[in-house]
Amino acid sequence: MIPSIDLNDFLSGDPIKKNNFVQALGQAYQEIGFVALKGHLLEASVSEKLYAECQAFFALPEPTKKNYEVPGLAGQRGYTSFGKEHAKGRNEGDLKEFWHFGQAIEHGEELAEEYPENVSVAELPEFNKNGLLAYQQLEETGKYMLRAIALFLHLDEFYFDEKIYKGNSILRPIHYPPITAEPKSAVRAAEHEDINLITLLMGASADGLQVLNKQNEWVSITALPEQLVVNVGDMLQRLTNNVLKSTTHRVVNPPRDKWGSSRFSIPFFLHPRSEMRLDALPQCISEANPVKEEPISAGEYLTQRLKEIGLK
């Protein structure tokens, strides 16, 4: 089991509960990079409706889904078909298809030129409605998680607020279809680290999710249905000069007797605005922990990583 914490403690107004939350979160992120979060702001009804809508979308005929695959967008909005994405350093495509919801920006608003528009599914009007609602609730939850992380790092509590305001975050409903033949070497999702600041995984469709612990052993992640699994991404690891750990994880294929079943998963990848600097924070640099990475912006880093995983 990964450590479990309750966001209500952070939001309680009680300084002792709030500090206990901050320390428990920071310790978990230094040691394994994952927590199970209770008391988050994603409503159960929104989660249930979106899972139902995702199942309906991925059950649509292949040509219908392909209508929503937008060329030239590096998969940043709409549909990405089966096997297109692979883990960094791999050539074998992961055994999945997925959809991307992004930041909803109105025409004429700041960043309207930078972010592509969300793609609407004509066959399922509720899909977009529930997707964008889940996006907002997960983004708000992530804001408080980053406030706690800021306090743990001895930064101003609101350090991340302006950096993630209208950030380049992605909500990704994923479908891992039934396995119909012996896989060559691909797993549903090969071992990888997430690109972003933090990832919030909704729902309990976590069978098959495993993390690599410090002893180099794969450990299965289990979370209760009302919890989110929240982990550190590479951008946050980079910013903290490896003080907080972006843990390697993967999704393994199910036992042969469950090959016939689909798996659905909906992670929210919380990204900052492209101009945010990921240069190591001064308080995370010491003689014992010299600077690990070259200075880079979030936008430059995202582009580099999208190329490495075959989407750009």
Neighbours of 201 (CB within 10 A): 25
CB of 279 within 8 A of CB of 64?
no
Tell me which residue has tokens 């396995």.
Answer: 179
**pLDDT tens sequence across 28-48:** 999 888 999 999 999 999 999
Check residue 94 and give its pLDDT.
Answer: 67
Class of domain 42-308: mainly beta
Check residue 203 and give its pLDDT.
Answer: 65
Q: What is the pTM of this model?
A: 0.91
Q: Which residues pair with 170 in a beta bridge?
A: 102, 269
CB within 8 Å of 7: residues ≥ 6 apart = 21, 37, 38, 39, 40, 41, 141, 144, 145
Alpha-carbon dihedral sign for residues 294, 28, 213, 298: negative
Cα-based torsion angle of the residue sequence 198, 199, 204, 210 in order, rounded to the nearest 10 degrees: -90
Check residue 188 and give its pLDDT.
Answer: 64
For the chain, list residues with pLDDT below 50: 204, 206
Query: Is 36 strand, coil or helix?
Result: strand
Alpha-carbon dihedral sign for residues 57, 63, 68, 69: positive
Check residue 41 and give its pLDDT.
Answer: 97
Q: Where are the domains of the chain?
A: 42-308
Check residue 2 and give its pLDDT.
Answer: 84
Q: Which residues pair with 5 in a beta bridge?
A: 37
Among candidates 185, 75, 178, 174, which has minimal Cα distance to 119? 75
Check residue 84 and give its pLDDT.
Answer: 61
Report the residue count for the chain: 312
**pLDDT tens sequence across 75-91:** 789 999 886 655 565 55
Check residue 86 and give its pLDDT.
Answer: 54
